[in-house]
Structure 1
């Protein structure tokens, strides 16, 4: 976002300004900058009638761009603002603050507020019903049951993902404890949201990673990261062959010049100044070393030379640049598809009707690598990968 960027208010998004709950409940958490931004957007709302510049907000609030972005992020995190973007134009959607009951029933919000103003102050803000009071209010079904009304259309604010009551009930059953209840509950809520976990799945994760019966959000996070990494590895194993997995591992483990030196070592050669310039040119094209290494390996496997073939590798590089190849995985898949296309072409040619006219008399005839040469190139790739693994040990 830049000061010259345009924004609109979203039509039909007028909200009732709830100053009481904003000041009592939200302000201690979001801070003055976010509060000022919310106030500005609420009071300058124009039903999306005209285009505005972000500089208008900066000038009025006396903010810099960094403070504006940080304030907007806080409002977004507290579900007071949603930011949309379309064709370089931003759209602000304000959201109504939670009522006091919903806010204090939200485990993360209540703990955040308690961290700022203390448990006693939060308790003072909570609804105080008379002792032994019994709720005798009519329910919706008691009044409107005789009407053909879609009860599902009656909307309430969604309950927090973390059902803290049930979570703590299982904690008591299994003898688990919080080490720092306020911080731990906030961390648990963040984990539930980040990894889309319901309260029961979150509890099982907490139980599995607990330290001496104390819940450890840090170990829970590490466990989820480990599980995600294992899932990515499983997907990669399903996509790539064993040889391709070796290529990926080796191309990601060395800088481009060192990788080239390892390959040339197999052919008893050294890196030349011209080859260093080629690597530099590829880097200037914004390729990462891992992508350059795939191009280098593939070029050597297809050319019978101890030196890097500039014409061949630049042809690959131009194709990669056009296809926006940015990772070793994408590069390997691209080279695989290229090889598969060549195989399909050869297969179709072999199935074509036979003729007595010699192939070399065809003006479009191109001399292809012989089976012996292909076998030799495959053996070279095998030796190269073996040498790379040896050098990496």
Structure 2
């Protein structure tokens, strides 16, 4: 988009500028630039009769192209504008601002406004009907006769995120928002819209990626962006089993299995370490691979935080997002390559790094328990 590019208004799309809604509800969210662009477009609407250049807007509002582009992005995101691109120009479709009740009834818009001006100020903007008032209004079908079996059709409202149903499931399952509930609500809506998910699908994702029963938007996003770039055929049988178990257990359950095999218990520091890894946006399946590999390399009944965090930082830098990616990264690490070269004459179909778990110094009981881990963890 350049200043010399043309744009046209969509015909028969005149919208009235709702000063009250724009100032009371939208302005704190969209800011002065977006509000000025919206008012300009409303004021100069010409029913699509002539082409205009974006430079006209810049000249009138006295700011540059970057600010105009950012303002248009905000207006389209908040549903005050739709912008279309044709072969030789752009089309601008204006949309009316929501009224007070409709705006505040939208859980996402309400949270956005609360984040800007506070809950008390938003509460003051609510339409208030006395509790003892009885609604005696009539329905359409009570007054107007029609041969149709259904009520007359009306324009479909933009679908909203069903926050009430989402929160009912949260209460049932003991799931909570993070310390910033308003940001969580906005983030949940953004994920639903971005990935075309309904509220129930978003809840399932939130529940599966929660950290200590608290919603984690970063882990939700990581789960949705997760891609297994390596085909199943690239893994040995042992690696597939490790991947399967890493994906099937939570990080705490996975750690408990390994600790039980070493006749040890999970410490408070280890629980905190798992949470720290989750806060780094790692999914449990990646954390499980990190944990298993760390135990293999340190030969201890306790997790080595320095070793684990060094590995985790490397994974974070390389954006490792799945158990498959983690195993491939470890398989091709410099340390594993060095060992592989040293033992080139001894061929084996067992991956070098996972083989460390079941050899040499382990006791018979420990070996048996870890073997059970690989074969399915039936206990």
User: 2:197 matched to which residue of 1?
Assistant: 197
Structure 1 residue ranges without an equivalent (≥5): 243-393
Partner of 1:20: 20
CA distance in 2, matches of 1:52, 1:93: 14
Distance 1:102 1:129 in 2: 15
| Cα distance in 2 between the residues matched to 1:96 and 1:187 | 25
Q: Is 1:222 aligned to 2:222, yes or no?
A: yes
Relative to 1, partners in 2 of residues 1:34 and 1:175: Cα closer, same or farther, differing over 3 Å?
Answer: same
CA distance in 1, matches of 2:96, 2:3: 26
Q: Compute the displacement of 1:146 (Å).
A: 3.5
Please give the secondary structure, in 1, of the residue aligned with 2:13: coil
- Pairwise CA distance, 1:149: 7.8
Asked if residue 86 in structure 1 is aligned to residue 83 in structure 2, the reply is no
Whether 1:143 and 2:147 are equivalent positions in the alignment is no
1:176 aligns with 2:175: yes
Give the Å deviation of 1:85: 1.1
Structure 2 residue 54 is the aligned partner of structure 1 residue 59: no
Moved over 6 A (4+): none
Listed as ranges, the matches of 1:244-393 within 5 Å are none
1:164 matched to which residue of 2? 163
Q: How does 1:91-130 map to 2 (within 5 A)?
A: 91-130=91-130
Q: Could you say what secondary structure the match of 2:92 adopts?
A: strand
Matches within 5 A, 1:34-73: 34-73=34-73
Q: Distance in 2 between matches of 1:150 and 1:89?
A: 42
**Corresponding residue for residue 325 of structure 1:** none
Structure with greater proportional helix content: 1
Distance 1:199 1:221 in 2: 15
Residues 34-43 or 171-180, more deviating: 171-180
RMSD, matched Cα: 1.9
Report the Cα distance in structure 1 between the residues aligned to 2:133 and 2:192, rounded to whole angstroms: 35
Runs (5+) with no aligned partner, structure 2: 235-379
TM-score, length-scaled by structure 2: 0.59
State the SS of the aligned residue for 1:126.
Answer: coil
Instruction: Determine the C-alpha separation between the residues in 1 that align with 2:202 and 2:40.
Output: 38
Secondary structure in structure 2 of the residue aligned to 1:92: strand
SS at match of 2:85: strand
Partner of 1:151, secondary structure, is coil
Separation in 2 of the partners of 1:169 and 1:134? 28
Mapped partners of 1:184, 1:222: distance in 2:
15
Deviations 1:84-142, CA, capped at 9 Å, x for gaps? 11112111111011121111111111111001100000011111110233322212222
Distance 2:64 2:143 in 1: 54
48-57 vs 151-160, greater mean Cα deviation = 151-160
Q: Secondary structure of the equivalent of 2:127?
A: coil
For residues 209 and 92 of structure 1, the distance between their equivalents in structure 2, rounded to whole angstroms, comes to 40
Residue 67 (structure 1) shift: 0.5
TM-superposed deviation, 1:52: 1.0
Aligned to 2:84, the other structure's residue is in SS state strand
Structure 2 CA distance for partners of 1:105 and 1:14, relative to 1, 3 Å: same
SS across alignment from 2:214:
coil
Larger radius of gyration: 1
Equivalent position of 1:264 in the other structure? none
Encode CA deviations 1:258-305: one digit per residue, 9 max, x unaligned: xxxxxxxxxxxxxxxxxxxxxxxxxxxxxxxxxxxxxxxxxxxxxxxx
Which whole-Å CA distance do the structure 2 matches of 1:171 and 1:165 have between them? 10
Q: Do the aligned partners of residues 169 and 5 (structure 1) sit closer, same or farther apart at CA in structure 2, a change above 3 Å counting?
A: same
Q: Any residues of structure 2 matched to 1:233-252 within 5 Å, and which?
A: 233=229
- 1-structure distance, mates of 2:4, 2:153: 42
The residue number in structure 1 matching 2:270 is none
Distance in structure 2 (CA, Å) of the matches to 1:26 and 1:67: 18
